[in-house]
């Protein structure tokens, strides 16, 4: 997969409005640590040998599935920028025919994906899986007034026991970024995740995955760690990825001893301020957790997508899928009426 990834990076300009989850290096890292090198990379070329598309997949009998993992909340295929809906159709037909698959399935496709152009095609099935939250950081700090006042109050309480300071380190500073990651792992393991055994520190595979994020130290893909200190004590840490003009928050950990004063929210506030003041155009939460609603972020849909093949097997699966959807639609209102 390494040689193919190098070829993809050379062919696709990483600076051309790509998202970090589309970057071949991200796929490669996930394949190595999260999927045990089980992912396959389907690469499609035209008659001249130029790469048109790339899809990371797992084989599930007659179905091609994009990678699914709790630590990969969004995944996307990679397409040449100028591709049309008709060309996408032709590529998917060729992929399914060549792999003898009845369909291609992905549960985490963002609405910004190029395949969203194909939503009106009857061989595609689209269902909203969830939302992805983000902030526009090109203007004033986008925080509601009431929330801002509450955060200022929490900040004053914390500073009664020591001055707060914010810092951001990136992968170009090897020593500082290593210490910052260690702070994150220690802080996360000290809380409820550590006691429940779900902390990253307790899973060698996950730990290696996050430690190797330090390899992303190029202008088009840069790993960052944002921290909030109370004097010398680290009370909140965020792992982030900078890709192009966007910043993406991957994980957060905070000191639960001062949890009543929302250190994680205070760090997000500082990170938003930092993003407004540098040349970042947006800050993404990647997912859309419940606590984010009070921040009033922008959102876009993340889709569950299935593309069925043209053959008989694909047609049968498509009809079965439509029947299942109709049954769910009919049962939904009935269920609601019996449980007012």
The predicted model gives 46-73 an average pLDDT of: 91
Write out pLDDT tens, residues 7-37: 887 777 654 557 899 889 999 999 999 999 8
Say how many C-beta atoms besides its own lie within 10 A of residue 203's C-beta. Answer: 14
| CA nearest neighbour of 12 among 29, 31, 25, 1 | 25
Report the predicted TM-score, pTM, of the whole model to 2 decimal places.
0.91
Rg of the chain (C-alpha set): 22
Measured distance CA(320)–CA(284) in Å, rounded: 36
Mean pLDDT value across residues 207-221: 93
Would you call 194 helix, strand, or coil by DSSP? helix
The pLDDT tens digits of the residues spanning 261-276 come to: 999 999 999 999 999 9
More confidently predicted of 84 and 329:
84
334 has pLDDT over 60: no
For the segment 239-257, the average pLDDT, to the nearest whole number, is 95
Q: Where are the domains of the chain?
A: 2-130+300-338, 138-280
Q: 2-130+300-338 maps to which CATH number?
A: 3.40.630
Pair of tokens at residue 211: 């430690």
* Same fold flag, 2-130+300-338 and 138-280: yes
Q: What is the DSSP letter of 191?
A: S
Residue 328 has pLDDT above 80, yes or no: no
Query: Which pLDDT score, from 0 to 100, does residue 336 have?
Result: 38
Mean pLDDT lowest among 2-6, 85-89, 113-117, 331-335:
331-335
pLDDT (average), residues 306-327? 90
339: pLDDT strictly greater than 50: no
DSSP 8-state assignment for residue 69: B
Query: Mind listing the pLDDT tens digit for each residue in 166-204?
Result: 999 999 999 999 999 999 999 999 988 998 999 999 999
In this structure, whether the domain defined by 138-280 belongs to CATH 3.30.1010.10 is answered with: no
């Amino acid at each position: 997969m390494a040689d193919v990834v190098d070829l993809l990076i050379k062919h696709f300009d990483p600076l051309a409005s790509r998202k970090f989850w589309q970057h071949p290096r991200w796929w490669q890292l996930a394949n190595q640590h999260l999927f045990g090198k089980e992912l396959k990379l389907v690469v499609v070329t035209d008659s001249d040998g130029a790469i048109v598309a790339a899809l990371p997949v797992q084989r599930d009998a007659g179905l091609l599935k994009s990678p699914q993992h709790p630590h990969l909340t969004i995944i996307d295929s990679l397409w040449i920028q100028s591709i049309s809906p008709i060309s996408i159709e032709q590529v998917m037909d060729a992929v399914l025919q060549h792999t003898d698959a009845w369909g291609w399935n992905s549960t985490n496709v963002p609405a910004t994906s190029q395949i969203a152009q194909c939503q009106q095609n009857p061989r595609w099935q689209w269902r909203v899986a969830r939302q992805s939250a983000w902030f526009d950081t090109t203007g004033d700090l986008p925080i509601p007034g009431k929330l801002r006042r509450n955060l200022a109050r929490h900040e004053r309480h914390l500073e009664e026991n020591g001055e707060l300071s914010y810092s951001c380190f990136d992968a170009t500073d090897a020593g500082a970024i290593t210490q910052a990651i260690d702070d994150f792992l220690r802080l996360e393991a000290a809380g409820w995740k550590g006691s429940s055994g779900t902390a990253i520190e307790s899973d060698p595979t996950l730990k290696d995955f996050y430690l190797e994020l330090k390899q992303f130290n190029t202008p088009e893909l840069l790993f960052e760690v944002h921290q909030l200190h109370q004097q010398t004590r680290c009370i909140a840490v965020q792992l982030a990825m900078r890709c192009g003009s966007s910043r993406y928050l991957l994980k957060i950990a905070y000191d639960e001893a001062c949890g009543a004063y929302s250190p994680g929210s205070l760090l997000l506030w500082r990170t938003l301020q930092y993003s407004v003041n540098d040349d970042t155009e947006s800050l993404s939460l990647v997912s859309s957790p419940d606590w984010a609603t009070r921040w009033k972020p922008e959102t876009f849909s993340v889709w569950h997508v299935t593309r069925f093949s043209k053959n008989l097997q694909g047609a049968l699966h498509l009809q079965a899928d439509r029947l299942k959807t109709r049954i769910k639609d009919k049962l939904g209102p009935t269920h609601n009426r019996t449980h007012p």
